[in-house]
Amino acid sequence: MAEENKSSLDPLAALCKRRGFIYHSSEIYGGMPGFWDYGPLGCELKQNVKQAWWQFTVRGRSDVAGLDATIIMHPKIWKASGHLDTFADPMTMCKECKKLMRADQIGDILAEQKKKPVPHNPEGTLSCPYCGGEMTEPKPFNLMFKTVVGPIDDPSNVAYLRPETAQAIFAQFTNVLATSRQQVPFGIAQMGKSFRNEVTPRNYTFRSREFEQMELEFFIRPDEAVEILHGHVVTLADNPDLDGPVQDDWGWEVWHKYWVEQRKKFLTAVGLPPARFVEYWQKPDELAHYARACVDIEYDFPFGRQELEGIAARSDFDLSQHQKWSGESQMVFDDPLKQAAKKMDDAARAAFIEKVQKDWVARGKDSLEAEKFCRNLFDGKYVPHVIEPSAGVDRLMLALLCEAYEEQKLTDDKGKDDVRTVLHFNPKVAPVKVAVFPLVKKDEASYKMAQDIFGKLRKKVNSFWDESGQIGRRYRRQDEAGTPWCITVDPESPKDGKFTVRDRDSMQQERLSYEEFLAKMYAALEF
RNA sequence: GCGGGCGUAGCUCAAUGGCAGAGCGUCGGCCUUCCAAGCCGAUGACGAGGGUUCGAUUCCCUUCGCCCGCUCCA
């Protein structure tokens, strides 16, 4: 019974604290629920995860540019994005069974239960869909943190801490477009802190109130523009090659799937085996109204299968919203598109418009808007659509920690049982890459050689020096930190120029020269 | 907010109505030392407040915090 109330994360959480990965925020004052600090090893891990993402998403590609925007932005951004309205959920609680729920979802819950429409009490309050009890007055619960900008604490000065990094990308879209020498299709990536006043933070760092995101907004042409340019639009039915270079005639569906595959490649590269995560394609009725498709990549955490990142096809919703609220055009000019449209005669244009209108009306959109949209396309102008891969740094870190954690039962030469706690991080994200030990402190030549090696290595990668305690103990310390390699320099080393390299996972040892070790290490660290 | 579990050292855990103990860790030192168990020393805790009592870490009350569930979706 007591076991069931324990978190399955407890052993990992204890290690994280003991070794300096994760601490509770403000611990000496009793902590703050939903806020976590990363200690010496944790911040290295975090840096590595972010660096890996940045390399994979931005620097390793020629079609993505970076951005680092502020956390506090003009409050209208959140009006335009919908966060101010949709993030303010009216919460209500049943006075009988104490269930907490969103007032606006009671109807849905009843519908799911196939019950009659929302029964109202005589006083006009709602009844609990579970037990029929009286509900408390719905209270607005805004998930955004409010603050005041400037010296006067006045409602007109209210601003919000961003609940996602994505909106800054949309808000700076035209600036990046003008200065990055990129053309659609291209992406803008950003990493940074976001804040959500979660009702109940839970599951260690999984749902935090302050967390860090890695988001990419990849802007693409609307399918109609691709059609004009290429006379066709490649869809998933065409079996496009998603591993090769990107193609100009891909439609949004293909781009979306392409990014799903890219994200999976990234997760695999930083050490999550594909077998350990699942792709969940949201069903049409689960999609947000602006989304055309959304895939969640979920990981089997010890506390259940949970979302690690999401890849959404958001159409032109965000940029259009900002265009509407700011009054600034968010359209791009696409010269190849204009040139292609020039070749269409009036009949072809009329037929094209008619086709688009039919399609739009079928999707519940306005026919006149469709025509306006087409006329703009003929001028080479449109609001780009967007594919949004959005990942949580802290969630990925937690998944990597869960995945890496192992308590190995070993039996030594003398037949004694021993438990080895080891973090099997992929070397690319391991906080410490290599530890250097002098086997014997008193042997001057080898001690000096160990110091020289350490001095050289620390200029290249995060390295650790340890000369205290017995050698086996030093190895085990590094196992708990997840250090992939330990170098032990012994009295023989100055003579043959080689040292012992001990592998974390296999515990195998081999004698290598400095150059041989460097080659081995770099091979493992490269993306 | 409600229900359940739980608060003893950095971590894991003891004991007790009468000076709070161990292992690991950390720090210093010794040992010619390749897989945590060689030696010496140091470090350090009863979440907070109140009550009962000669005396409370232990019993009672209050409070604070953590964990699990109800909501959240990076």
- The larger pLDDT score, comparing residue A94 to residue A209, is at A209
Measured CA A39 to C1' B16 distance, in angstroms: 37
Measured CA A363 to C1' B27 distance, in angstroms: 70
Q: How confident is the model at residue A416, as a pLDDT?
A: 63
Of A235, A184, A189, A195, the closest CA to residue A215 belongs to A189
CB A246 within 7 Å, strand B: no
Chain position carrying tokens 């700076």: A172
Measured CA A294 to C1' B69 distance, in angstroms: 29
Question: Which residues in range 111-140 of chain A are in contact with strand B, contact meaning CB within 7 A of any of its atoms?
Answer: none
- ω into residue A185 within 30 of 0, thus cis? yes
> Which nucleotides in chain B lie closer than 7 A to a protein CB?
1-6, 10-12, 25-28, 31-38, 64-74
A245: which 2 tokens?
């270079």
Query: What number is the average pLDDT over the span A508-514?
Result: 93
Which residue lies nearest B28, CA-to-C1' measured?
A468
In this predicted structure, the answer to whether residue A439 has a pLDDT above a threshold of 80 is yes
How far apart are the C-alpha atoms of A521 and A527, rounded to whole Å? 12
Q: How confident is the model at residue A214, as a pLDDT?
A: 96
Q: How confident is the model at residue A467, as a pLDDT?
A: 87
- The larger pLDDT score, comparing residue A417 to residue A189, is at A189
In this predicted structure, the answer to whether residue A196 has a pLDDT above a threshold of 50 is yes
pLDDT digits (tens, 9 = 90+) for A18-63: 888 888 888 777 777 888 888 889 999 999 999 999 999 999 999 9
Q: How confident is the model at residue A232, as a pLDDT?
A: 93
Query: What number is the average pLDDT over the span A215-242?
Result: 95
Mean pLDDT of all residues in chain A? 86
Measured CA A474 to C1' B16 distance, in angstroms: 38
Q: Are strands A186-195 and A64-67 parallel, antiparallel or unpaired?
A: parallel
CB A437 within 7 Å, strand B: no
How far apart are the C-alpha atoms of A195 and A209, rounded to whole Å? 6
pTM above 0.80, yes or no: yes
Q: How confident is the model at residue A253, as a pLDDT?
A: 94
Measured CA A322 to C1' B18 distance, in angstroms: 73
Partnered with residue A385 across adjacent β-strands are A220
Q: How confident is the model at residue A88, as a pLDDT?
A: 59
CB A476 within 7 Å, strand B: yes
pLDDT digits (tens, 9 = 90+) for A323-359: 999 999 999 999 999 999 999 999 999 999 999 999 9
How far apart are the C-alpha atoms of A299 and A426, rounded to whole Å? 17
User: What distances in angstroms separate CA A237 from CA A56, A284, A291, one per listed residue?
Assistant: 28, 19, 20
Measured CA A203 to C1' B17 distance, in angstroms: 39
Q: How confident is the model at residue A7 (pLDDT cuts 50, 70, 90)?
A: low
Q: How confident is the model at residue A2, as a pLDDT?
A: 28
Partnered with residue A124 across adjacent β-strands are none
How far apart are the C-alpha atoms of A55 and A103, rounded to whole Å? 44
| HSE toward the beta carbon, residue A504, CA cutoff 13 A | 27
pLDDT digits (tens, 9 = 90+) for A106-159: 665 555 555 444 444 444 456 666 666 666 666 656 788 888 888 888 888 889
**C-alpha dihedral (A50, A54, A55, A58), degrees to nearest 10:** 170
Q: How confident is the model at residue A26, as a pLDDT?
A: 81
How far apart are the C-alpha atoms of A168 and A326, rounded to whole Å? 14
- Answer for the pair A527, A428: CB distance below 8 angstroms, yes or no: yes
Residues 6+ apart with CB under 8 A from A181: none
In this predicted structure, the answer to whether residue A382 has a pLDDT above a threshold of 50 is yes
Measured CA A43 to C1' B22 distance, in angstroms: 33
Q: How confident is the model at residue A242 (pLDDT cuts 50, 70, 90)?
A: very high
Query: What number is the average pLDDT over the span A160-176?
Result: 94
Closest-lying nucleotide for A196 based on CA to C1':
B72
Query: What number is the average pLDDT over the span A433-452?
Result: 90
Measured CA A297 to C1' B53 distance, in angstroms: 61
- Answer for the pair A492, A439: CB distance below 8 angstroms, yes or no: no
A346: which 2 tokens?
């009036």
Question: Which residues in range 22-41 of chain A are in contact with strand B, contact meaning CB within 7 A of any of its atoms?
Answer: 24, 30-33
Closest-lying nucleotide for A416 based on CA to C1':
B37
Closest-lying nucleotide for A395 based on CA to C1':
B74
Q: Is the torsion defined by CA of A476, A478, A480, A482 positive or negative?
A: negative
A389: which 2 tokens?
């891969």
Q: Are strands A385-392 and A210-220 parallel, antiparallel or unpaired?
A: antiparallel
How far apart are the C-alpha atoms of A277 and A267, rounded to whole Å? 9
Q: How confident is the model at residue A485, as a pLDDT?
A: 94
Question: Which residues in range 441-470 of chain A are in contact with strand B, contact meaning CB within 7 A of any of its atoms?
Answer: 441-443, 468-470
Measured CA A15 to C1' B45 distance, in angstroms: 20
Q: How confident is the model at residue A122, as a pLDDT?
A: 44
- Answer for the pair A223, A387: CB distance below 8 angstroms, yes or no: no
The DSSP H or E segment spanning A79 is helix A76-81
What secondary structure letter does DSSP report for A23?
E
CB A208 within 7 Å, strand B: yes
Phi, psi of A384 (to 5 degrees): -65, 150
3-state secondary structure of A226: helix
Partnered with residue A305 across adjacent β-strands are A300
The DSSP H or E segment spanning A43 is helix A40-54
Measured CA A466 to C1' B46 distance, in angstroms: 35
- Answer for the pair A308, A392: CB distance below 8 angstroms, yes or no: yes
The DSSP H or E segment spanning A515 is helix A514-525
Residues 6+ apart with CB under 8 A from A487: A434, A435, A436, A437, A450, A453, A499, A500, A501, A502, A517
- As a whole number of angstroms, the longest Cα–Cα distance in chain A is 93
In this predicted structure, the answer to whether residue A404 has a pLDDT above a threshold of 60 is yes
Measured CA A474 to C1' B25 distance, in angstroms: 13
Measured CA A32 to C1' B60 distance, in angstroms: 30
- Maximum mean pLDDT: which of A130-134, A250-254, A279-283, A287-291: A250-254
User: What distances in angstroms separate CA A407 from CA A5, A205, A326, A402, A421, one per listed residue?
Assistant: 22, 21, 55, 12, 4
Phi, psi of A173 (to 5 degrees): -55, -50
- Residue A20 carries which side chain, given as an amino acid letter? G
CB A403 within 7 Å, strand B: no
Question: What percent of chain A has pLDDT above 70?
Answer: 86
CB A335 within 7 Å, strand B: no
Q: Are strands A158-160 and A146-148 parallel, antiparallel or unpaired?
A: antiparallel
Question: Which residues in range 141-180 of chain A are in contact with strand B, contact meaning CB within 7 A of any of its atoms?
Answer: 164
User: Where does residue A398 fall: left (phi above 0), alpha (psi -120 to 50 degrees), or beta otherwise?
Assistant: alpha
Q: How confident is the model at residue A95 (pLDDT cuts 50, 70, 90)?
A: low
Residue A122: exposed, middle, or buried by beta-carbon count in 10 A (0-12, 13-18, 19+)? exposed
